[in-house]
Every structure is written in C-alpha cells, then in structure tokens.
Structure 1
Amino acid sequence: MNVFDRNINFDALFKFSQISRSTQHHLKNVYSSLAVCMLVAAAGAYVHVVTRLFQGGFVSLLGSLGMMAWLAMTPHNPETEKKRLAILAGFAFFTGVGLGPTMDFVIAVNPSIIVTAFLGTSIIFLCFTLSALYAQRRSYIFLGGTLMSGLIIMLLLSLANLFVGSVMLFKVHMYLGLAVMCGFVLFDTQLIIEKAEMGDKDYIWHCVDLFLDFVTIFRKLMVILAMNEKDKKKEKK
C-alpha cells in the first residue's frame, strides 16, 4: 500500500481531548488577543525606530507598568471587556516602543536579524505551545520552582556582571534566559488551562503572560543573533 495514498485526519491532529470545549474556546480568545498584541507591539516598535516620536527606555517601561497595573485593577466582566482590551493594546504598544533600543542595536549590526529572530521566536513559541497542549494536563506545572530558580540565577548573574563587565557572562545570561523563557511558555500555557478549567476565564490577563513570554524570547534571540553576527565579522577581519 502506498503511504502517500493515505488521508490525513487533521481533525484528529488538532483534537485536544484532555481539554474541555469551554477551555478550548477560552484558548482561542487568548491566542486571538495575543495576535492583536503582536500587531500593536510591532506598531510601537515602528514608531520608535522610524519616526522617533517616542523614545524607548524608562518612559516606555513606566508606560507598560502603568498599563499593566491599570489592567490588573480593572475587574473582568462583560461591561469592562472593551475597556480592558483597549488597556491591553496600550500595554502592547508601550512594550513595542520598549523594544526600540534593542532593535536599534540589531539594525546597526544587520537589519535582517530582526526578521530571523521573529521567525525563530514564532517557531519556538509554537513548538513549546503545542508541546504543552498535547502533553498530559499539569505535567509541566512542576517547572514553576525550577523556572523561578532560573530567574534568581539570572538576576545574580546580572548583578555580578555590573562589577565584572564580562562578555562571556553576558552571553551565559542571554542563553540561560532564552532557555528559562522557553520553559515559561510550557508552564504558563498549562497554568492557563488549569485556571480556565477552574473557572478563571480572564483571557485578557492570560494573554499578558504569553505576550511577555513571546517578547522576552524575541528580545533575547535578537541580541544573541546580533552578538554572533558581530563575532563573525571580527573573525573575518
């Protein structure tokens, strides 16, 4: 029998039997909001890089934190849904503006790195998301303690590098951070599923968790690729 004659059952491929229908609908809302956040963040990054109307850095950080705090303090209900979506868009915009300084550095090295980093981030995010969705429920929840330990180690490395100023230590911090954030995609995805199964249907706030994971992976991947590109240019000289 020719294997190429077999029909592929795509319905079975995307069937998550361990997740209830209501939670699957909730996840659709989460990822739809995430897609919109990415578009708005791209607009924010464009504003910084091209128009220079806003400068990334401390101001954009304050804007992001302010929007996040406002979103957290606004209760989730049908009456406030549009308002919270607008706040989410504002948060995504300021986050995109905050990516500006990193993108300036990357553009100075090689502008094509931005596209490569985005595609790489999308693939990484998709693979780890599908792993979390197909895996047994709560199987990655145990990663919470390990990931928090990883964040503490990253913080200590950053503090140590303030005094040492080592490029090697900075690279270790970047690669460790990339690995930790990949773990957070697994952890946050399954945590969102568990919260939804327990009745927490705040898809807007759940979107924030995944959006921050995506942006952090994207930022770190851009820096890693840019540093590798600079190292290659030095070797050629």
Structure 2
Amino acid sequence: MEHINHFVNTFNYRLEPSVKTHLKNVYSTLTASVLSASLGAYLHLFTNLSSIIGPFLQLIATIGFTLALSFSTPDAKNQNKRFGYMLAVGLFSGLSLGPLLEMTLFIDTSILPTALLATAFIFGCFTISAIFADRRQYLYVSGIASSAASLLFFMAITNIFFNSYAIYKTYFYIHFALMCALVLIDTVRIIELRAHGDTDHIMHACMLFLDLIQIFRYLLIILTDKERQSNNNKKKRN
C-alpha cells in the first residue's frame, strides 16, 4: 500500500493539474477509438461489410478521416465532428485488421488474447516511462528513433535488390521496436504540447492510437509466425 501511495504522489508531483486533466481526456478518447476498432474487427469477422467495401477503400477511408481530423480546427464547435472522425479512424483500422485476425484465429485462437495482453503491457510500460522519465532523455530516444528510421529506409531499399529473408526479419523487428519507442516519444510530446497550451486531446489520442494499433498488428504477425513455424516443425517430426 505504501508503494502505491508513493506512486500516486510521484504521479501528482510530475504532472500539473491541467496536464493530468488533458491526459484523462486523451486516454478516454483513445479508449473509445479502441472500442471502435474492436467493432470494425467484429464487423469483418461476422458480416460481409469488409468484402463489400474492399481493402483499398478501407485504406483510403482511414487516411481520409485522419487527414480530416488533422486539418479541422480544434475548437468546441467542431469537437463532436472531430470525435466522429476519430471513431471512424478506429472503425476502419479495425476493419483493415480483419484479414490478419481471421488468419490468426484460424491458426490458434490463443494468439489473439496473448497479443492483446502484450500490447496493453507494452503500451502501459512505455506510457509510465514517458510520464516519469527525465524530459532530457526524450531527446536521446528521439535521436535513436530517427537513426533507426533512417536505417529502416536503407534496409528497405537494399532488400529490393537482395530480397533477403534475414534483412526482412531484421527490418521487421527494428520497425516493431521503433513503434514501441514511439509510444514513449509521443506521450512525452503530448505532455510538452499541453504544457505549451495545445489542448487538442482528440489529435493527441489519434497519435497514440496509431502507435497502439501498429504494435498490436506486429505482435499478431510475430506470434502467428512463431505458431506456424511450431506447427510445421511438429509435422516434420511426425
């Protein structure tokens, strides 16, 4: 109990009241977006909506609503409309995850809850690290992330010519690590933006949602690939 009280007191000390209120709004909007994405995934698995719309239109809709949210004015007049844009981004992101979820459930139904728990754990750890970390460390992490992004670009170009599975796997895991680091970077950025007067909690929630959905996507791929290799090894032994 003493450790919990110390944690809460430290949390209150690290963040100003306006920032804490802003983060509550951000994570409330993020929760609503995750629920909207869950609805999108459900619609893909149990209805024909995804096949009717098609993957290309789903991608265009996701990009379109994200751009609409980015370029709309963040004031009280547009708040409900912008919140609707955010829910639409979540819905179409969930729809686009549908084929991957379908394949995952076909291989092993236990992969989905494992990926969900792992995503929540990773997101929570990096979020807490961002809140309690020294802001100067943000510069170091941002520098490393920029270097990693440059490395990924050159690896992608190189693999066009070599078509190496080893390069692809290295690229994949570095990209996954970068997505995890972005949770920390974006959380610190949101805190700093609010401290300087930016109150656009819906756009800030969109930043974190895009990080979260990518981490979940990568974990699904990693766990599904491992389970598939395990099944193939079992068949070879038999």
Give the TM-score normalised by structure 1. Answer: 0.90
Distance, in Å, in 1 between the alignment partners of 2:142 and 2:124 is: 20
Which of the numbers 65, 68, 72 marks the counterpart of 2:66? 68
Distance, in Å, in 1 between the alignment partners of 2:6 and 2:21 is: 17
Cα shift readout 1:46-68 (whole Å, capped 9, x = no counterpart):
11122131246322111110001
Give the 3 Å change call, closer, same or farther, for CA 123–136 of structure 1 in structure 2: same
Which of the numbers 22, 42, 48 marks the counterpart of 2:44? 48
Give the 3 Å change call, closer, same or farther, for CA 138–193 of structure 1 in structure 2: farther
Q: Secondary structure at the match of 2:197?
A: coil
In structure 2, what is the equivalent of residue 88 of structure 1?
86
Does residue 17 of structure 2 align to residue 21 of structure 1? yes
In structure 1, what is the equivalent of residue 55 of structure 2?
57
Give the 3 Å change call, closer, same or farther, for CA 85–123 of structure 1 in structure 2: same
- Percent sequence identity is 35
Give the 3 Å change call, closer, same or farther, for CA 144–109 of structure 1 in structure 2: same
Deviation at residue 141 of structure 1 after TM alignment: 3.5
Show structure 1 runs of 5+ residues with no match.
Answer: 1-6
Distance, in Å, in 1 between the alignment partners of 2:102 and 2:135 is: 41
In structure 1, what is the equivalent of residue 175 of structure 2?
177
Q: Secondary structure at the match of 1:28?
A: helix
Which of the numbers 131, 147, 168 marks the counterpart of 1:133? 131
AA aligned opposite 1:157: M
Which of the numbers 85, 96, 99 marks the counterpart of 2:97? 99
Measured on the aligned residues, the alpha-carbon RMSD in Å equals: 1.8
Cα shift readout 1:43-98 (whole Å, capped 9, x = no counterpart):
11111122131246322111110001111111011111111111110111111111
Deviation at residue 39 of structure 1 after TM alignment: 0.5
Deviation at residue 209 of structure 1 after TM alignment: 0.8
Which of the numbers 108, 113, 122 marks the counterpart of 2:111? 113
Q: What is the total number of aligned residue pairs between the two structures? A: 231
Give the 3 Å change call, closer, same or farther, for CA 217–28 of structure 1 in structure 2: same
Mean CA deviation greater in 186-195 or 15-24:
15-24
Which of the numbers 72, 75, 78 marks the counterpart of 2:76? 78
Give the 3 Å change call, closer, same or farther, for CA 36–233 of structure 1 in structure 2: same
Deviation at residue 165 of structure 1 after TM alignment: 4.1
Which of the numbers 33, 37, 41 marks the counterpart of 1:37? 33
AA aligned opposite 1:10: I
Give the TM-score normalised by structure 2. Answer: 0.90
AA aligned opposite 1:35: T
